[in-house]
Structure 1
């Protein structure tokens, strides 16, 4: 067993990675953690920690390797920090399992969910590895997200893995004749998820629309060699104007351009602003576009924001939203807003500042909210927008920095969970793709190819959010945090000497 344990860890990490987009092997996630958990059976805590860390490095490196295309130090830091979560989970698990085996099983899912949730509340906000996203291509299996968010799907996945472990581990099932019980429970859990999903999809698709809105999603495909070249500004203007006119000719009632669509401080440059507002007036259709926005601080310096503005025909004023959740290591150094010395670190990041307020864009009867890029990864944050009264959600992004990598599918499929959680349509405009429109069941109504200049005109059905998750919020990770804390206290009160039962040097 000593020689094959590392292979089990590697197999588990690879299977888990292959469960995530862009691969369409999502159901593998229901068994992918079993080899890891089996590999740490009988190990002392420090050895379990090492295996958990190895698993985390392999999994997260496979998942987010593309960060290295923007910042190699940032990628390394992200992988190492994230790898500490499974490492510490297995360390505590091994302290508990000898004396309190059932408590140890309860600790694994609650601890992992707690960290996934806490990461959304801090500057270390990178919730890319939530297991629930692995099933985003399998719509019936993720419909229960309208009850407990992606956290409920992740919880079900971890519990199924633990039930399978319990059925093959002598520690949990000493009587072979009873091993079938956890397997049956695991099967029933998966069947229940699937059945609920089919029922909800069938019901929601039978509902008739009271009103529709034709949205034009403009994918300019402005590559990075000209994106921030001021001399190429005319190319960007001409391309977005041309695609937008074609979208309006096809019936678009609202145009959406991607994150930082134009290489200009649009709101602070009157000549360029006049050009865009004149265009909006000429086509008679509102335009939401991503911009870089700035203001001066009391010392005369500049504070920069990644923002979105809504321009309407015949109106001089614009509505503004500035991105609150910034990408760690890429748009800012974590905690640099509180520790000034961290601002001196240079890893190639943009050094934006976080916006301070949520904005609901008011557009006749079709109020909506905008998530900028990375913000679509945060279920609780998206829920806040839905509770403001948004009738649909907009995601604007620019993923060109990451080339032809798995980032495109991973990022796009997160919008599927946001639509299901809030039972709201989601439209997504991306500079180089994937632009798409998603209905409230998570079904893609239309989607673009990556690195192509194109536009989509899609009719969506704006409506108020009616999901259980929208009402109760993050009660699952919050409850998990309480249980995990209780388990931690028990683990550290346990003074038992740990003897490595099956691993012999």
Structure 2
């Protein structure tokens, strides 16, 4: 279990705003080492604990939000309830990992001697369950393995334009699983292996990144949007009259050049302002300065929407974009009969999910706007692009988050959306990160957050080139999910249901494994149970002697039984048994149950039960053969 928790920690530390994104290329190695030899239920539990731990660490910033910030502002539940909700949230979003662990543990043994096939299967399976993690009313995509690449590895991240986040997840798992298998086959030099692997990934990333086109400088096609980032506290938003917010907004708008198009944050106002003095004053200023202003506020017309729409001198537009991906429990209550007790988590009100991906045609701009939580899902930006958006705008209120990590993780989703669709993405936030990202994920300009400059608002002009390209991902969506599903099923059928039979398991064992556990090792050099393993030691194999009557032999530690070998931190690779048939059968079965990848019974020793169990578990199996003779036959 230590390996599982270590992997969870390393994975979390690779996420945006944490430690180092390149950790993701080795973070899953302890996880896959810990999953070896697990039974399905045990594998499900291990994978669930991995998901729970890494998602809990990744989203540590949610704890002060739920336990301090929200109770302080809304006064709707005590602080300790926020802690309980945080734990329950992590438990729920970790459930898909249990499914992966269950299925992986069923099929793992079928691929234990075929490194690349096993890595392909693990990557396909993990990708499928990662795809399932975003489905349904409780779907959640933050903390994906692909997120680790978004801030520091823009070269490899270009794969997003081909297959979206799931393609990156597949590649990350493939590399980790393959490296985990290599680690089990090496006696030493594992650290150098991992360092070399990360260095190679960094080199590949640098080579791809060097090929990314420079930003065009065609000023004739360049367009400008202005962002008005407000720095208004949640207390003021919820309890002060809208006129207080209006004062800040008007001061900011007065500084923006006349005739401009302005983007403002989500829920700039916390009530419908269309037929209020606040709305009338906003229209008046828009008319005075000839402004087109995208502003966010809720509306209640039979259906409740968290929406954004434009306002100009003629009033509020009839066209609007309503948030499609609502935040569970905060903006809607999933499955009320089950989760009705959690209604106290409601923020402003419950909303209906939008169904239209409206693109605003305003003053020469084709603006695809999305709101806050929408940016976590590729679907929204993709549909806006297909509907003709030349730029994607993310209007968000990050006023609940006091920790920079939360802002970085949210902003990184905009980087993914930009690359996926080859569109500029402009995020405009209340108190959070306001910045523009080019179609290759490069952050071109960023305004200071409230933690960096203590002002009521910040204004910025952002230039962009309207996009027209349709990427494979934009056109075909999550095709890689179905590819992974088909690939995983095919590998399971060909390698699991109908496993490949090796023509000569003896040669396979001697070629594949460099660590041999010798049960029945003798201190008498005249016996085969001594001279055979010592011969193999001379040929470069690592010999692990097992004999309950010995403690040491020629500098080698001698173990009393197989469980002691595992307890000392070593996996059972090949197990050679020098015991009479009656004892050998029991030892062989124990070795297989403990996860041995190959079992070898010496000359004149056979076991029908062990042979059958090895076949069922796809464990390489040899009986009635001398390892010395076979080694000389194949390699001398």
Q: TM-score, normalized by length of structure 1?
A: 0.86
SS of equivalent residue, structure 2 residue 325: coil
Asked if 1:50 is matched to 2:45, the reply is: yes
- Structure 1 residue 206, shift from structure 2 partner: 4.7
Asked if 1:169 is matched to 2:184, the reply is: yes
1:118 to 132, 137, 161: 132
- Partners of 1:176 and 1:409 lie apart in 2 by 38
Give the conservation status (yes or no) of the 8 Å contact 1:67–1:74: no
Asked if 1:241 is matched to 2:250, the reply is: yes
1:168-189, Cα deviation, whole Å (9 max, x unpaired): 224xx9x999xx9999999767
2:228 to 213, 218, 224: 218
| Equivalent residues in 2 for 1:145-156, closer than 5 Å | 145-156=160-171
Greater CA drift, 103-112 or 137-146: 103-112
Asked if 1:463 is matched to 2:467, the reply is: yes
1:359-390, Cα deviation, whole Å (9 max, x unpaired): 11111331111110011111132111111100
- Partners of 2:475 and 2:176 lie apart in 1 by 29
Give the conservation status (yes or no) of the 8 Å contact 1:288–1:311: yes
**Against the structure 1 CA distance between its residues 348 and 263, is the aligned structure 2 distance closer, same or farther, given a 3 Å change threshold?**
same
- Partners of 1:489 and 1:353 lie apart in 2 by 43
**Against the structure 1 CA distance between its residues 264 and 380, is the aligned structure 2 distance closer, same or farther, given a 3 Å change threshold?**
closer
Q: Which residue number corresponds to residue 277 of structure 1?
A: 283
**Against the structure 1 CA distance between its residues 12 and 316, is the aligned structure 2 distance closer, same or farther, given a 3 Å change threshold?**
closer
Q: Which residue number corresponds to residue 314 of structure 2?
A: 314
- Structure 1 residue 220, shift from structure 2 partner: 1.3
- Partners of 1:445 and 1:478 lie apart in 2 by 35
**Against the structure 1 CA distance between its residues 182 and 486, is the aligned structure 2 distance closer, same or farther, given a 3 Å change threshold?**
farther
- Structure 1 residue 425, shift from structure 2 partner: 0.6
- Structure 1 residue 119, shift from structure 2 partner: 3.5
User: Taking CA–CA contacts closer than 8 Å with sequence separation of 6 or more, which of the two structures ends up with the larger relative contact order?
Assistant: 1
Asked if 1:79 is matched to 2:90, the reply is: yes
1:115-158, Cα deviation, whole Å (9 max, x unpaired): 33334342122101211111111222312222222222222211
**Against the structure 1 CA distance between its residues 205 and 368, is the aligned structure 2 distance closer, same or farther, given a 3 Å change threshold?**
same
SS of equivalent residue, structure 2 residue 59: helix
| Equivalent residues in 2 for 1:413-432, closer than 5 Å | 413-432=412-431
**Against the structure 1 CA distance between its residues 341 and 93, is the aligned structure 2 distance closer, same or farther, given a 3 Å change threshold?**
closer
| Equivalent residues in 2 for 1:39-438, closer than 5 Å | 39-68=34-63, 69-70=65-66, 71-101=82-112, 104-138=118-152, 139-170=154-185, 191-199=203-211, 201=212, 203-206=213-216, 208-231=218-241, 233-248=242-257, 253-267=260-274, 269-296=275-302, 303-314=303-314, 317-336=317-336, 342=339, 345-350=342-347, 351-438=350-437
> How many equivalent pairs are there?
478
1:51-80, Cα deviation, whole Å (9 max, x unpaired): 222222211111123334235454323211
- Partners of 2:304 and 2:372 lie apart in 1 by 16
- Structure 1 residue 191, shift from structure 2 partner: 4.5
SS of equivalent residue, structure 1 residue 258: coil
Greater CA drift, 209-218 or 153-162: 209-218
1:14 to 1, 4, 9: 9
Greater CA drift, 99-108 or 276-285: 99-108
Q: Which residue number corresponds to residue 483 of structure 2?
A: 479
Asked if 1:27 is matched to 2:25, the reply is: no
- Partners of 2:109 and 2:338 lie apart in 1 by 45
- Structure 1 residue 344, shift from structure 2 partner: 6.3
Give the conservation status (yes or no) of the 8 Å contact 2:221–2:465: yes
Give the conservation status (yes or no) of the 8 Å contact 2:36–2:108: no
Give the conservation status (yes or no) of the 8 Å contact 2:110–2:496: no
Give the conservation status (yes or no) of the 8 Å contact 1:167–1:183: no
Give the conservation status (yes or no) of the 8 Å contact 2:100–2:129: no
Greater CA drift, 113-122 or 405-414: 113-122
Greater CA drift, 107-116 or 412-421: 107-116
1:441-473, Cα deviation, whole Å (9 max, x unpaired): 211122133324312222122222342322232
Give the conservation status (yes or no) of the 8 Å contact 1:396–1:430: yes
- Structure 1 residue 240, shift from structure 2 partner: 1.1
- Partners of 2:22 and 2:317 lie apart in 1 by 49
1:269-304, Cα deviation, whole Å (9 max, x unpaired): 3433212111111111200011111112xxxxxx42
1:197-247, Cα deviation, whole Å (9 max, x unpaired): 321x2x24256454222221111111011111243x222101111112223
- Structure 1 residue 485, shift from structure 2 partner: 4.9
Give the conservation status (yes or no) of the 8 Å contact 2:370–2:380: no
**Against the structure 1 CA distance between its residues 457 and 364, is the aligned structure 2 distance closer, same or farther, given a 3 Å change threshold?**
closer
Q: TM-score, normalized by length of structure 2?
A: 0.69
CA-based RMSD: 3.2
SS of equivalent residue, structure 1 residue 410: helix
- Partners of 1:142 and 1:41 lie apart in 2 by 30
SS of equivalent residue, structure 2 residue 257: helix
- Partners of 1:388 and 1:434 lie apart in 2 by 27
Give the conservation status (yes or no) of the 8 Å contact 2:99–2:129: no
SS of equivalent residue, structure 1 residue 56: helix
SS of equivalent residue, structure 1 residue 262: coil
Give the conservation status (yes or no) of the 8 Å contact 1:312–1:318: no
Unaligned runs of 5+ in 1: 1-5, 297-302
Unaligned runs of 5+ in 2: 67-81, 499-588, 597-636
- Partners of 1:182 and 1:431 lie apart in 2 by 42
Q: Which residue number corresponds to residue 501 of structure 1?
A: 595
Please tell me whether Structure 1 or Structure 2 has the larger radius of gyration of its CA atoms: 2
Give the conservation status (yes or no) of the 8 Å contact 1:425–1:439: yes
